[in-house]
Structure 1
């Protein structure tokens, strides 16, 4: 089969499109003919310097397609079913072998390319907002990196929940594309300090919840919080390793939750059924 691979981490030039061996399935897995892939922020970060499970390393951790073979112990999947699936690596290929428990059926009427983008981004955003963020109707949310995958999902889900949504992005063009998705106020962080903008847009109060996926903006996100505000810390796309002083949180009875969907999928059936719900929205 053909697959997107690399033999070493680095710039985009390390990527290759090559023939590799077809995957095999065990008794609890299914074999999927891939029709669509999603390119996640983690793909870029992994290519730049992540761990390599094998050489060559097959890129990607989310795709959608049609089941073409089923393991002997699998009882809830059949050949011909359309599914979206997640895995540690290997999705950017013509075929992928994945445990059946990490697949979700795609309902009729939903396009495969659309379904391929749902589990990671929308599952993560939903956990940031509700499971760990405790978002309530009428609250105000700041979505850092609003034009990213998790950001786009968070804006739509927060709007459905009745929240007021602020988001940051690097250009006015990116912010304009977010308006039809439910964005109320866009902040171009290249033109103005986002903390000042948040205070201005909330009449000095701050926001109830921040979806923080950048890392380098964490200190500013803390300064953007209202009294008893919360931060869902979901990523460090900026790869900023500078320590952040958390002592100010206690003065405002504020809190930070780490959010990692992968751990939830391994330990909580709630996460699986939640993604099933999100695919059908």
Structure 2
């Protein structure tokens, strides 16, 4: 099979399209013939040598895929050869054939074509697990989501809006702000020109955000804590703004707030299985009815993975970037 690897750290040109042995499923595993696999910010970090795969995971890049089941290992129930599926991965998505634990495989939600379904697993699982399972966002509460026009952001806005929360979203251009608004954001903030703390307070009559979904890390830490409501929950899922920041514990204590840092990739299969099951139960019906939709900026063939990474790093895209086999 053809697969994309990064044998040496570097820029997008470090990506290599290699011929690798076809995977064989073991107990509890199956193989998917890839139709679509989305590019995630974590993939660019892995390519640069900053985010290696967990022990035992494939060196092939790619944290999600969609496609058709082509082989089923022992002890797998519920899936057959020929089923159209999508899957959450620890690695291996940028390949013509993908080995995946059966517990991390999900049906393609209604109304979504097979290729586009490759854009859903990572964002749906990330948003549902962090915003709803961990932070417990409730109807009537306020979610602040940074990077609202990205893959995670577009999903977070739609899910929170569909489930009755108020949404404040940040983005860096008028075009991206309009996308956020069209997806259900009640308030949009240009982070290049506006103070998001002040805008959140204005939008909530001074209360602040009950939940903040943050992909920046250190550079936003102080302002995020300042933007929290009493008993607010800050969930950090990315470190684009650095790893070390100063935390005002006095402010956090007065607000009875929580700062939670999470990652999805390194969790054990059992935890990912629970998240996938929750996504199928709670998110897929919203996709099927049209309340939540995948947002895909563009697609590239597998051999143009380097171009896809350049687009990701230029941050000019809206929603997801897909690779196809």
Which TM-score applies when normalising by structure 2? 0.79
Of 235, 253, 277, 1:232 maps to 235
| Counterpart for residue 179 of structure 1 | 181
Q: Is the 8 A contact 2:221 2:246 kept in 1?
A: no
Counterpart position of 1:79? 81
Quickly say closer, same or farther: Cα 1:264–1:59, change in 2 above 3 A: closer
**Aligned partners of 1:264 and 1:23: how far apart in 2?**
21
Change (3 A) 1:156 1:264: farther
Distance 2:253 2:7 in 1: 47
SS of 1:257's partner is strand
The CA deviation at 1:31 is: 1.4
Q: Residue 171 of structure 2 contacts residue 189 of structure 2 at CA under 8 Å; is this kept in 1?
A: yes
Question: Greater shift after overlay, 108-117 or 260-269?
Answer: 260-269
Q: Which residue of 1 aligns with 2:29?
A: 29
Q: 1 CA distance for matches of 2:61 and 2:102?
A: 20
Q: Is the 8 A contact 2:39 2:62 kept in 1?
A: yes
List per-residue Cα deviations over 1:253-279 (Å, max 9, x = no partner): 112233333437533754231122223
Tell me, which stretches of 5 or more residues in structure 1 are unaligned?
A: none
Check whether the contact 1:60–1:89 (CA below 8 A) recurs between aligned residues: yes
* Alignment partner of 1:95 is 2:97: yes
1:17 lines up with 2:20 in the alignment: no
Deviates more, 1:108-117 or 1:264-273: 264-273
Counterpart for residue 42 of structure 2: 42
8 Å Cα contact 2:70/2:82 also seen in 1: yes
Q: Closer, same or farther in 2 for the Cα pair 1:19/1:100, shift >3 Å?
A: same
Per mean C-alpha deviation after superposition, the further-off stretch among 95-104 and 227-236 is 227-236
More displaced stretch, 17-26 vs 77-86: 17-26
Residues 270 and 147 from structure 1, CA distance in 2 versus in 1: closer, same or farther, beyond 3 angstroms? same
In the alignment, which residue of structure 1 is the partner of 2:320?
A: none
How far apart in 2 are the matches of 1:268 and 1:33?
Answer: 21
Partner of residue 121, structure 2: 119
Do the aligned partners of residues 241 and 47 (structure 1) sit closer, same or farther apart at CA in structure 2, a change above 3 Å counting?
A: farther
The question of whether the paired residues in 1 share the 8 Å contact of 2:110 and 2:284 is answered with no
CA RMSD of aligned residues (A): 2.2
Residue 131 of structure 1: aligned partner: 133
Aligned-residue offset at 1:167: 0.8
Match of 2:154 among 152, 155, 163: 152
Find the aligned partners of 1:209 and 1:109 in 2 and give their Cα distance: 30
Q: Which residue of 2 aligns with 1:223?
A: 226
Q: What per-residue deviation string (whole Å, max 9, x for no partner) do you get for residues 11-33 of structure 1?
A: 11211223222222213211111
User: Which runs of structure 2 are paired with 1:238-277 in the superposition (5 Å)?
Assistant: 238-262=241-265, 263=267, 266-267=270-271, 270-277=274-281
Structure 1 range deviating more: 147-156 or 242-251: 242-251
Post-superposition CA distance 1:10-58 (Å, at most 9, x none): 211211223222222213211111000111121122222222679x931
Mapped contact 2:38–2:65 kept (Cα < 8 A): yes
- Name the CA shift for 1:268/1:88 in 2 (closer, same or farther; >3 Å): closer
**Cα distance in 1, alignment partners of residues 85 and 202 from structure 2:** 45
Change in CA separation of 1:210 and 1:108 when aligned onto 2, cut-off 3 Å: closer
1:196 aligns with 2:198: yes
Cα deviation 1:157-191 (Å, max 9, x = unaligned): 11011111111111121111111210111111111
Q: SS of the residue aligned with 1:199?
A: helix
